[in-house]
Amino acid sequence: MTERRTCPRTPTTGRVYLTFDGRCRAEQLVDLAANGVGLDTDLRLRPGLLVTLFVPLPDEHGWVMCQLKGQVARRTRQGRLGIALIPGARDARALLRAHLQALHRQAA
């Protein structure tokens, strides 16, 4: 299978709140990237479905909720859900990028 990712994934754990079709569910976060999110879930969502993610991220005052707009890119048989963030969406993408940069600095 050809790798389609354009940004590196950062393995992460924690909960993410996924909203779609008027529903909201807490799911397990697997990884983050500047243009996508990986989840471990039993949901069977169709590719192309628009979703909103709420990802709690640490900041200097405690935690901040990062709202991200995306669409389902893929689902694996192993229960992984790939969410592609929608380019140009008005969301907290800058907050996500700053968080990922801080994680990469800590790892270096």
Q: Is 83:54 a contact under the CB 8 Å cutoff?
A: no
pLDDT tens digits, one per residue of 56-80: 988 888 888 999 999 999 999 888 9
Q: Which domain holds residue 18?
A: 10-107
Cα–Cα distance for residue pair 63/41, rounded to 1 Å: 24
> How many domains does one find in the chain?
1
Residue 1 falls within a domain, yes or no?
A: no
* Positions of E strands within 4-102: 10-11, 15-20, 23-33, 36-40, 50-59, 62-75, 80-85
Residue 1 has pLDDT above 50, yes or no: no
Torsion of CA 25, 14, 93, 91, to 10 degrees: 20
CATH code where residue 35 lies = 2.40.10.220
Position 82 in a domain? yes
In-domain check, residue 4: no
* Residue 2 falls inside a structural domain: no
Grade residue 5 by pLDDT with cuts at 50, 70 and 90. Answer: low
Q: Does residue 108 carry a pLDDT above 90? A: no
Answer whether residue 84 is part of any domain.
yes
